[in-house]
Chains A and B, each alone.
Chain A
């Protein structure tokens, strides 16, 4: 969605909501309840359709912006279950439900209604610094140039845990004899600012980074973080009016290709049973469901036990991206625990995911002694490869 979108640009989409409730549940015949806010509140208002109705009222001055509206808009983890419901259209000139919710967040930010607490503090930091950088990524080789056709997109860390994942990825890419450069200009790509509705700050950030981001044009960019991939490949082209053309691959696709062409060899290891959590942005937003499973299938001795809610019927981890969970951490925790219980019910030894934020969300609610049960796909492969 363009950052200068107004209500008049999106009112057409509002009218298309049928109030059919399909934005709250998954595919037939299981019909799993997939919308985390509706699952908790069990009321129309707490759904994509309900938030669209609120926006309709706001656009017509039938109500005012309030902290109650902010609570609903920011509890939503933008998991995309409503985007894949296939009733509310998601293509221009219309907009996906999650983009409409982000637009609502932007309006709330302009009204000074960013939820207080951790998210409020983060917003103040971003306003002061112009960026959301957890920790600058410092990877070896520390190559800031973009020379090769293939680059690893490795922007800022939002938590130190991601560094392990990136380092494991680099080891694996070396073993595949891939000549890559690391794209790391030390700033947020903008995904979090976009998600959270900090659009004025995002505009400034992207203007500052425009030259850097152009370096990615026509490159084959390998992404580890699905949020960055989704933003850079789907949202940024809309925002930058088509100036950006990144050719993306998720690391799981690269790994799957490497296994098929026998570039990676397995060590001997004990048998383990794993379950795989489809990250919302990798799955529902980017449609990447099979490559991670292909990778797991190449790991002899690793048995995949699917959770009942999987693929496009996957349930959110609760993280809401890098910083979404900072808005209402108790609510996010509830969502995470819901998903974790599903994992526990499988009886699998490990929970594997392919998104650093999902991994962090799961680990944060587990006792320290159990955090090793959650791994990123890259870490698992790195451990099992010669």
Chain B
């Protein structure tokens, strides 16, 4: 890769797609040179804001010919992968933001990459539909998140929301996947009796092709929906409950919350005045106060009223089987009103207004650690992780755990808050995370869900396939290079 953007390329792309979409002003380039959570700066050569698929095709044809690296961003929140190459092209999709179709007969929606979660959930809500809700702010790209096999509100039953994609390859070739690959381009089905090409572009962070449109699964808002709450004194009982409920097909979704996470919903950082931070968040995360359960499991049930009523009762029975106890929202509100508010919004409102949880980022930076493992292994991972991170002295320590793929695996996500000026503590936490990752993978069979490190951990045969596909599709390696993968 030797060529970077210069005046000639700027002019050629401007002539092809319109000068107002192509930016080379210093202030603009510099503003795109940083990334979330990564202390690096790499200034692109051009920032381009396409408005349609043809714009993207023209950009890529020129970039491929000139061997200029291209980094696509839908919202730009993904750490690491939205950092541009020096002198490369950033494609910012915010102006390709149409919801093209909401098909209520076949339960799918077609959207462009610039559609935010807030816009998507709002449009679906008006039509009596809902979608997978990630643990991300409303400004996130709905398509961007869908491509990352998200671990949000529907992860129990749904592996990923993607049905079909329209992708522009590095050389400008347009590809449609799934049923949209057939002449009528109707995007209702992912599987069409051939290898599933969608998978190549999901979780590829723009390295295999640039996605210009996607059909996503959507779900009708059912007649009855409720959140069943079960409290447990220990994590093992919570996991066994979730496994049982999932295996018996009772719930649409389950999340296990530790006490410092759900209590952190009570943090308030008003526009003026002092913040309110519950004092017990400074305590040992392994020892909740006597009135707060160690774990709360939220079990989301939806369907016909008769069915949800029965499922609710059965969940109570199953909870008692594992030493837990069902509580009502009203009872929880007396202990901790914050999670009641947030969970109602998340599960019953199908959105997260202004990122209910993110406002607590006023406490500092949020280093996170995420793995997936089998249920029994996650029990050991929780013990190991909470102890190790506690010993760094950082507080609070928040985690949530949810099943994937009908409970075959569970995702374990832990995070805390660190003052951005406390570099020493941040260093301690990050090195603890790294040690924990090695142990979790070696001793408990954990695997990672966060790129790019996960690619390097893959078996060599798997990685070999990915490399061969990558260089078949992108021989000049212009698509988001330098991110530790290819």
Query: A residues touching B (Cβ–Cβ < 8 Å)?
Result: 11-12, 15-22, 24-25, 27-31, 42-45, 50-51, 53-54, 56-57, 60, 62-64, 66, 68-69, 72, 83-87, 89-91, 94, 96, 234, 285, 287
Contact = CB atoms under 8 A, between A and B. Distances in A.
A247 B387 CA distance: 49
Enumerate the 5 nearest inter-chain pairs by beta-carbon distance, A residue then B residue, closest first. Answer: A89-B362, A21-B139, A20-B137, A29-B122, A12-B420
Given A20-B355, A44-B31, A91-B269, A68 B25 contact: yes
A42 B94 contact: yes
Contacts of B269: 86, 89-91
A89 B361 contact: yes
Interface in B120-161: 121-122, 125-126, 136-140
B359 A44 contact: no
Given A28-B353, A45-B28, A91-B272, 19 more contacts: A12-B364, A15-B365, A16-B362, A16-B420, A19-B75, A19-B76, A19-B77, A20-B75, A20-B136, A25-B118, A28-B121, A28-B354, A31-B116, A31-B122, A44-B94, A45-B27, A86-B269, A86-B359, A287-B271
17 contacts: A11-B420, A17-B36, A18-B77, A20-B140, A22-B354, A24-B139, A25-B139, A27-B354, A28-B118, A28-B354, A42-B49, A43-B92, A44-B32, A57-B30, A72-B27, A91-B269, A287-B272
Contacts of B137: 18, 20-22, 87
A63 B421 CA distance: 23
Contacts of A57: 30-31, 33-34, 41
Nearest to B351: A28
Interface residues of B, number: 53
A62 B362 contact: no
Contacts of A89: 269, 359, 361-362
Contact of A62 (B43, B95, B272, B419): B43
Contacts of A56: 34
Of listed A28, A42, A69, A234, residue having the most chain B CB within 10 A? A28
A51 B365 CA distance: 19
Contact of B34 (A43, A53, A84): A53
Contact of B122 (A15, A30, A42, A54): A30
Contact of A69 (B27, B49, B271, B274): B27
Nearest to B49: A43
Contacts of A22: 137-139, 354-355
B171 interface: no
Nearest to A16: B361
Q: Is the interface of A mostly helix, strand, loop or mixed?
A: loop
Dominant SS among interface residues on chain B:
loop
B31 A28 contact: no
Given A43-B49, A44-B94, A91-B275, A50 B33 contact: no
Contacts of A68: 25-27
Contacts of B49: 42-43
A15 B30 contact: no
B421 A12 contact: yes
B31 A50 contact: yes
Contacts of A94: 362
B266 interface: no
Interface string B317-339: 00000000000000000000000
A72 B118 CA distance: 26
A91 B94 contact: no
A29 B274 CA distance: 29
Contacts of B56: none
Contacts of B41: 57, 60, 62
A29 B136 CA distance: 16
Given A24-B139, A28-B118, A84-B271, A43 B421 contact: no
Contacts of A27: 353-354
Nearest to B25: A68
B156 to A, nearest CB: 24
Contacts of A45: 27-28, 31-32
Given A15-B365, A21-B75, A44-B31, A85 B36 contact: no
A42 B139 contact: no
A87 B355 contact: yes
Interface string B50-92: 0000000000000000000000000111000000000000001
Given A28-B351, A72-B27, A90 B138 contact: no
Contact of B26 (A21, A43, A63, A287): A63
A62 B420 contact: no
Contacts of A43: 23, 28, 47, 49, 92, 94
A86 B75 contact: no
Nearest to A56: B34
B272 A12 contact: no
Interface in B336-364: 351, 353-355, 358-359, 361-362, 364
B312 interface: no
B253 to A, nearest CB: 21
B119 interface: yes
A48 to B, nearest CB: 11
Contacts of B32: 44-45, 53
Contacts of B95: 42
Nearest to B116: A21
Contacts of A11: 420-421
B82 to A, nearest CB: 8
Nearest to B118: A31
Nearest to B75: A21
Given A16-B361, A60-B41, A29 B76 contact: no
A20 B353 contact: no
A83 to B, nearest CB: 7
A345 B358 CA distance: 35
Nearest to A287: B271
Q: Which of B30, B126, B364 gathers the greatest number of chain A CB atoms within 10 Å?
A: B30
A177 B198 CA distance: 75
Contacts of A30: 122
Contact of A83 (B27, B43, B92, B271): B271
Contacts of A85: 354
Contact of A87 (B119, B125, B358): B358
Nearest to A29: B122
A11 B25 CA distance: 24
A163 B30 CA distance: 45
B116 A18 contact: no
A60 to B, nearest CB: 7
A84 B23 CA distance: 30
Contacts of A234: 272
Contacts of A21: 75, 94, 116, 137, 139-140
B271 A90 contact: yes
B282 to A, nearest CB: 18
B362 A29 contact: no
Contacts of A25: 116, 118, 139
A341 B333 CA distance: 44
Contact of B27 (A18, A28, A66): A66
Given A12-B421, A68-B25, A53 B30 contact: yes
A162 to B, nearest CB: 26
Which of A24, A43, A50: most chain B Cβ within 10 A?
Answer: A43
Highest count of chain A CB atoms <10 Å: which of B49, B273, B354: B354
Contacts of A287: 271-272
A51 B28 CA distance: 10
A378 to B, nearest CB: 25
Nearest to A285: B271
A44 B44 CA distance: 14
B76 A87 contact: no
Nearest to B43: A62
A18 B358 contact: yes
A47 B121 CA distance: 23
A54 B27 contact: yes
Contacts of A31: 116, 118-119, 122, 138
